Chain A
Amino acid sequence: MGLPRYVAARVVWAAVVSLVIVTITFGLMAAAPNPAVQEAATQAALEGGDPEEAVERERELRGLDEPLHVRYADFLRGVYTLNWGWSDLQNRPVSEALSEALFYTAQYSVPWTVLTLLIGPLIGVYSAANMYSWRDHLATGVAFFGYAIPNFFFGIILLLLFGVYLEWIPVVYNTDVAVFSLENARQLAIPVFVLVTGSIGAIMRVSRNESAEFRNADFMKTAKAKGVSPLRAYAYHVMRPTMVPLSTTVVGQLLAIFLGSSLLVEVVFGIPGLGRLTFDALIAQDTNLVLGTTLLFTFVAVVGNLIEDIVFTVLDPRISYDDR
């Protein structure tokens, strides 16, 4: 199997996975009573009307009285044509609410990802080059600290310290400031810092352990013998083979943190991004919006895994496509 066929197979597979997840989501929604229907019944009972009738009306209104397969087909069409319905909470289409939230999420996600990918492998390789020195121990300590401290807890503590006591950063997130301004950098510094410390540890550890393997490899001895400077030797001969195994874990880990922590960090810092939107939708029982955010995160995860697999095979020519 050649590369194009492999990529095609992976893309098809990613589509299948997304379909499975969408189907499970639909199954979950279909099997449970719809909160909106229940609300209509309660409303009718409170106003002295007939709850049964109200339930019927609400079901008809939402198309729930149709047979399951028709609803499933409708659901699939809606999901894949990005027609994700109307959000009662935000009073606008779900896709519009999502794209606006994405704008705020991207403002801290992009610097966070870039910083993690830049600093993580660098410190990891540096750590391996100075293995068992105090610098290595310091880096290991920082890695473990960042990995172990719960992001939301760390966020609260830093907010308390810098926002409330020292008053260096604003406590409330301000959406009015321009994206590329000092104000915005100041209010996003702590969230980005918290996320970077949380995600950098794992990457640092992997790159440290991986590059430790190449440190005493024959090609490094050759490089040293012919007088290559240590910096160049590490940059060209250690960094490159280290990136291959690293790339398999990086995307998965970043995604896991993105899904979990963005929610927490946005709630703690009051950033009106995707995580916050999910949270608000859950609290307000806005079914369409909950579905929309869930599906968006799911698609990001599926596409992320797809890219990871493809990048992995492109980076490492030794991998045979039949293997997977």
Chain B
Amino acid sequence: MTSEKPDRFDRVDWSAYEGSGGVDPSVNTVGAIGTTLPLVALFVYDRQFVGEREATFGAVGLEADWSGLEYLFAFTLILFVWYVLVPLYQNPRMTRYYWREFTRNRPAVVSLGWLLVVFVGGLLGPLVVSAPEQSVLAGHQPPVYLSIDTANVAQCLGEVRGGRCYGTWEYPLGTTRGGKGVFRSIVYGMRISVQIAFITTTIVATIGITFGTVSAYAGGWVDEAMMRFVDVVLSFPTLLMFLLILYIYGAGLGMFIVVFSLFAWGGTARYVRSKSLSVSEETYVSAARISGASTTRIVRRHVVPNTASSIVTQLTLLVPGFLLAEAQLAFLGLGDTSLPSWGQLIAAGRSDLGFAPWIVVAPGIVLFLTILAFNFLGDALLDALDPEAAAEVER
């Protein structure tokens, strides 16, 4: 946005409008491309030079082996840094304003804190905490300060008092039947959740915004056809379609993310379209057009920024749905059982619920808190980013 306002009309920087015809990559685009290239190089290296069963970073002595999903995740992180975090830094005045509005809602700040914990835990946790390992002898250990009847454990790792086995700090949240640490599993589950959140958000936002603006600007029968297509997408029973695909082809996390995000952008597209139509009636858009700005430029500089607030809100409310769907599928035993997600953990503990409830309760509460945090965050963002909505409520 040409945010620096010249104090006099004859000092307007017309070159800002003239450049719209050609390609003028911003710092963000350059940065994003600059950081994506090494990622692509790594991907090519991984596919071409590293053996099928070898770890991606074997050459530098790391165990991590990256799947296609990890590359996609890294790419979305790059986009997030360059198109969300850097712009916030570039516009310190607006950032301070948003932050002030945002901090007025105290539950939302707490929620943001919790989501940051999940995000950092998912990103760095697997580097710090070692992966949960099977060990049958350490099965059904209770969390610290809690106890379980010794009849239910093969071997008690903590102290035994009065026929009850007490938990140890080695497994702060106890263990599953197979002896996997619940705490470690939750940390690894954070990574899955963060991946789901980032990748789906990127796909939904990209398709939704593109589809909505193109539809609004194309107009006529193209618009009509595109919106009818959105109707189909919206009335598609995604979960059932996913079950059908799962039944026929089998599906892992990648397929889950693709199917769910490919059928979730309908609402976003519809919203962006109606907002684009109303924004294009505004006088500032007419002014930009008279000044010679091209449609592309108007869309990028005026329409998309003006729809951003609602898109962000919508996405924060969409992500918990995805997390929930993953957990539900995992619970039904229809997910990828090798995946250390929260849902899998809940599913794993279901049969032992009677005497070892922590296996279900701990990841369940984490999942609950995360979904709750997203809801509070969405509510607060709606007020912070959209002053009209806030004014409406306070009126």
Contacts and interface: CB of A to CB of B under 8 A. Distances in A.
Contact of A298 (B237, B246, B324, B350): B237
Interface residues of A, number: 43
Give the interface centre of B231, B240, B361 by most chain A CB atoms within 10 Å.
B240
A21 B248 contact: no
B375 A144 contact: yes
A36 to B, nearest CB: 12
Given A259-B239, A298-B237, A144 B228 contact: no
A149 B228 CA distance: 34
Contacts of A72: none
A25 B357 contact: no
Contacts of B236: 21
Contacts of B325: 260
Interface in A190-219: 209, 212-213, 216
Interface string A268-290: 00000000001100100100001
Contact of B243 (A209, A278, A302): A278
Contacts of B232: 17, 20-21
B248 A29 contact: yes
B285 interface: no
Interface string A252-269: 000000011001100100
Contacts of A213: 392
A147 B240 contact: no
A209 B393 contact: yes
Interface string A228-264: 0000000000000000000000000000000110011
Contact of A148 (B237, B368, B392): B368
Chain A interface main SS type: helix
A285 B368 contact: no
Contacts of A25: 244
Contacts of B328: 150, 152, 260, 263-264
B219 to A, nearest CB: 15
Contacts, number: 105
Interface string B349-382: 0100110010011001001100110011000000
A74 B244 CA distance: 20
A153 B367 contact: yes
Main SS class of interface, B: helix
Interface stretch (A83-91, A156-164, A174-182): A156-164
Interface in A126-164: 144-145, 147-150, 152-153, 156-157, 160, 164
B353 A160 contact: yes
Contacts of B334: 282
A156 B241 CA distance: 26
B235 interface: yes
A298 B240 CA distance: 8
A101 interface: no
A111 B369 CA distance: 29
B327 interface: yes
Contacts of A279: 332
Given A13-B228, A301-B235, A305-B235, A267 B332 contact: yes
B174 to A, nearest CB: 16
A290 B244 contact: yes
For B328, B354, B361, the residue with the greatest tally of chain A CB atoms inside 10 Å of its CB is B328
A321 B234 CA distance: 20
B220 to A, nearest CB: 14
Contact of A28 (B244, B353, B393): B244
B239 A260 contact: yes
Contacts of B234: 305
Given A150-B371, A267-B332, A259 B240 contact: yes
A102 B19 CA distance: 63
Interface of A: 13, 17, 20-21, 24-25, 28-29, 31-32, 144-145, 147-150, 152-153, 156-157, 160, 164, 209, 212-213, 216, 259-260, 263-264, 267, 278-279, 282, 285, 290, 293-294, 297-298, 301-302, 305
Interface of B: 228, 231-232, 234-237, 239-241, 243-249, 320, 324-325, 327-328, 331-332, 334, 346, 350, 353-354, 357, 360-361, 364, 367-368, 371-372, 375-376, 392-393, 395
Given A157-B364, A260-B328, A279-B332, 16 more contacts: A17-B231, A21-B232, A28-B248, A144-B372, A148-B320, A152-B327, A152-B331, A153-B327, A164-B353, A209-B393, A259-B237, A264-B331, A282-B243, A290-B243, A294-B241, A298-B237
28 contacts: A13-B228, A13-B231, A21-B236, A29-B248, A32-B249, A148-B368, A150-B327, A150-B371, A152-B331, A153-B327, A153-B364, A156-B350, A156-B364, A157-B360, A157-B364, A216-B395, A259-B237, A259-B239, A260-B325, A263-B239, A263-B328, A264-B331, A264-B332, A267-B332, A290-B247, A293-B240, A294-B240, A298-B240
